[in-house]
Amino acid sequence: MPTDSAFLDEETPLLSSPVSDVPKKRQPRPLPKFQIAIVLLMQICEPITSQSIYPYINQLVSELDITGGDERKVGYYAGLIESLFFATEALTVLQWSRLSDFIGRKPVLLTGLIGLSLSMLCFGLSRTFWTLVISRCICGLLNGNIGVMKSVMGELTDSSNRAEGFALMPVVWAAGATIGPLMGGSLSKPHERFPTVFKDQFWKEYPYFLPCVATSGFVCIATIITAIFFRETVPKRKRVTSISSETTLADALDGDGPLPLRKILVYPVLISVANYVVLAFLNIMLGALLPLFFAMPVEIGGLGFNPPTIGYIWGSYGAVTGIFNILYFAKILRRFGEKRIFISGMCVFAPCFMLMPIMSICARQWGVGPLVWAMVVMVLVMMVFMDMSYGCIFMFVTASAPNKRSLGATNGLSQMTVSIARAIGPALSTSLFSYSVQHNIIGGYGVYVLMTILSLLALTLAVQLPAQVWEENDD
């Protein structure tokens, strides 16, 4: 394949295809640590706020009197609430990301943080199912930060240090997934857990406001730090005064400007995004199903754990994931390559889903003893290994962008499709759990059979990725 610049245009991926033509990699450049630290601070707000509701969401739903006292229906409503954020995010995340290509990353990031903080306050003050729905919708509509933050990370790194940069993103997510559940589980119902301090009637009427206000306060601090210290990564451009269509927009900007959406849909983008969607879809289904499985009584196929216990389990998993990734991800990546690690991580979903009915059967036969706890640990260890797949697929998506000024749109496209998958995933998995139990599908374990089949089918797409990411032209 020719590599002369005459054969390259704005639709040529940032990474070239043939491995044999790839120049020897440079020594890694030092990362801009302070700016990356701010990006990671913004990123940690996402899992802290989203994961903090998992320890108590099922109990909260059961207290709303919408299930008619039937705990088997909790999965339907809990899954819907968990899905709403991603459903509404899917409607706007591409627009937010594309907007950041033109007006800059910083104003979009600040808008997302403010929306996140306000929505958590509304969630804590909600006393009906529909107010919970509205608060989650507000959060999703105003928040396009995930795609924008990945674009920023791509702009702050290059091919020589991108592994180290993107290795930090799963670590930070894991840290947030540790802090969030611990806050949600430990601070819920403070009038019962800390009666001498939270004895006012307010805390009895709003038993889940404390974890919400705590997470909202954290986001407020991150917003202030971002507003003061974060430096814009998109260079300033001349304003385009008249834009009537995408074609006009493409003509109005220079050759290195953002591309129309239709020109971003090239093969490297499509195959990378497709695998990201499948990974996120399976992961969000597992992430929604496990807390429900932990919370439901043993008699209907769960383990009967209380919210603090679920919070400690989820928090421990997040802590181990973070430590493992920060210590070993970059080393393992350089040893085995992005594709091998990604496929290996995808292989763990099937055993995770298969272990859940085995745990349920053991709990029914012998109670929640050492054997069940050993299997819980096994599932969490496999999930830690699976989390490395995220760092790998982030690198594939970032490197697939047709040009650097379209990085926001590329990440926005990936986040939009992933948000759709994440909107469907929780509602699908938790509803299937309830449906399987109510109708005794395969002894109440039908959901796990379906999830296992989907996990195996996902591997057929994972093997379509190239042996390694296309080499980026940083010049």
**Digit-coded pLDDT (tens) for 261-300:** 777 778 888 898 899 999 989 998 898 888 888 888 888 8
Domain that holds residue 134: 30-231+256-469
The predicted pLDDT at position 259 comes to: 64
The predicted pLDDT at position 221 comes to: 94
Evaluated on CA atoms 200, 206, 212, 216, the torsion sign reads negative
Residue 241 resides in a domain: no
Number of folded domains in the chain?
Answer: 1
Residue 342's closest CA among 412, 272, 281? 272
CATH assignment of the domain containing 409: 1.20.1250.20
Residue 245 resides in a domain: no
The predicted pLDDT at position 351 comes to: 94
CA separation, residue 394 to residues 84, 91, 224, 290 (Å): 24, 21, 27, 25
Residue 36 resides in a domain: yes
Query: Within 13 Å, how many C-alpha atoms sit on residue 132's CB side?
Result: 22
Residue 384 resides in a domain: yes
Q: Are strands 471-472 and 15-16 parallel, antiparallel or unpaired?
A: antiparallel
Residue 313 resides in a domain: yes
Site of tokens 């089949």: 453
- Phi, psi (deg, nearest 5) at residue 69: 80, 5
Q: Please give the radius of gyration of the chain, using alpha carbons only, rounded to the nearest integer.
A: 23
Quote the distance between the C-alpha of residue 355 and its chain's center.
Answer: 23
Residue 290 resides in a domain: yes
Helix, strand, coil percentages, rounded to 5, for the chain: 75, 0, 25
Contact between residue 34 and residue 163 where contact means Cβ atoms under 8 Å apart: no
pLDDT under 50 in the chain at which residues? 1-23, 238-255, 473-475
Contact between residue 333 and residue 396 where contact means Cβ atoms under 8 Å apart: no
Contact between residue 398 and residue 154 where contact means Cβ atoms under 8 Å apart: yes
Structure tokens at 71: 């705990």
The predicted pLDDT at position 349 comes to: 94
Those residues with Cβ within 8 angstroms of residue 377's Cβ, 6 or more apart along the chain or in another chain: none
Residue 337 resides in a domain: yes
The predicted pLDDT at position 65 comes to: 67
The predicted pLDDT at position 291 comes to: 84
Residue 12 resides in a domain: no
15 DSSP β-pair partners: 472
Task: State the Cα–Cα distance between residues 278 and 271, nearest whole angstrom.
Answer: 11
